[in-house]
């Protein structure tokens, strides 16, 4: 295979996209969105701006890809966190705990999420992406809540929309506070807040 054909191979193209997005994450985490430009990414990884723009024509396209990867990665983690042999309440707790900034990886993800959510106030396209992923999270939460209902742990009359909104607000609040003030939200407190909220939801339904 010639050098030119290797350059255009799917593996090389995919690797370059990965490199670009990884650099974008690092730049945003270190300097915020204002530091993220096509030029700054190219400089960070030693690419020409032309190579970067071949894969992502604009900064907004890069942001959209970052958001998609961030939330797709989170969903993969929280869906994979549940032990199917565990009781339904434990499964729900495992799912929600995996969303919290309890590890270096999820803490980093929350810092990025807070920055990217700020961009949603400016960009309708970014805002729509956030809404799409929050809607999917809401649907996944409701599936877990229905499992609690089927086991008699949650009243069949419970408002699943309201209950899912309560849990989402808690997760968002913990994640955002940790991103902005890490010392205010130590791991033990995160776990206590989540456990208390689940207890309140289940007690209210008993």
Residue 36 tokens read as: 């993220």
Give the domains, in start order, of the chain with CATH numbers: 8-57 (1.10.10.60), 59-205 (1.10.357.10)
Question: What is the b/e burial string over 25-56, where b = at least 16 CB atoms within 10 angstroms of the residue's CB?
Answer: bebbeeeeeeebbbebbbebbebeeebbeebb
The pLDDT assigned to 116 comes to 83
Alpha helices in 32-159 (DSSP H): 38-45, 49-55, 59-80, 88-97, 104-120, 124-150
| 193 vs 199: CA distance, rounded Å | 10
**Strand, helix or coil at 62?**
helix
Q: Which has the closest alpha carbon to 106: 76, 138, 141?
A: 76
The pLDDT assigned to 76 comes to 93
| CA 128-22-174 angle, 5° bins | 55
Determine phi and psi for 106, rounding to 5 degrees.
-75, -30
| 95 vs 86: CA distance, rounded Å | 12
The pLDDT assigned to 107 comes to 94
List the pLDDT tens digit at each of the 206 positions of the chain: 444 445 557 788 889 999 999 999 889 888 888 899 999 999 999 999 999 999 999 998 999 899 889 899 999 999 999 888 889 899 999 999 999 999 998 998 898 888 888 888 888 888 998 999 999 999 999 999 999 999 999 999 999 999 999 999 999 999 999 999 999 999 999 999 999 999 999 976 65
The pLDDT assigned to 206 comes to 57
The pLDDT assigned to 2 comes to 46
The pLDDT assigned to 203 comes to 74
């Amino acid at each position: 295979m010639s050098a030119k054909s290797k350059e255009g191979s799917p593996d090389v193209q995919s690797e370059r996209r990965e490199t670009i997005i990884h650099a974008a994450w690092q730049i945003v985490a270190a300097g915020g969105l204002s530091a993220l430009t096509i030029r700054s990414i190219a400089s960070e990884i030693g690419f020409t701006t032309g190579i970067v723009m071949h894969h992502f024509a604009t900064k907004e396209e890069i942001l959209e890809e970052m958001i998609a990867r961030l939330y797709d990665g989170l969903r993969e983690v929280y869906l994979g966190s549940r032990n199917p042999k565990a009781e339904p309440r434990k499964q729900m707790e495992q799912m929600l705990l995996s969303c919290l900034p309890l590890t270096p990886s999820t803490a980093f993800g929350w810092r990025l999420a807070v920055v990217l959510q700020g961009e949603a106030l400016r960009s309708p396209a970014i805002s729509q992406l956030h809404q799409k992923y929050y809607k999917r999270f809401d649907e996944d939460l409701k599936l877990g809540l229905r499992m609690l209902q089927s086991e008699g742990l949650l009243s069949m009359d419970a408002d699943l929309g309201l209950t899912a909104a309560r849990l989402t607000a808690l997760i968002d609040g913990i994640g955002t506070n940790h991103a902005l003030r890490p010392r205010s939200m130590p791991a033990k407190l995160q776990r206590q807040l989540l456990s208390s909220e689940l207890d309140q939801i289940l007690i209210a339904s008993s």
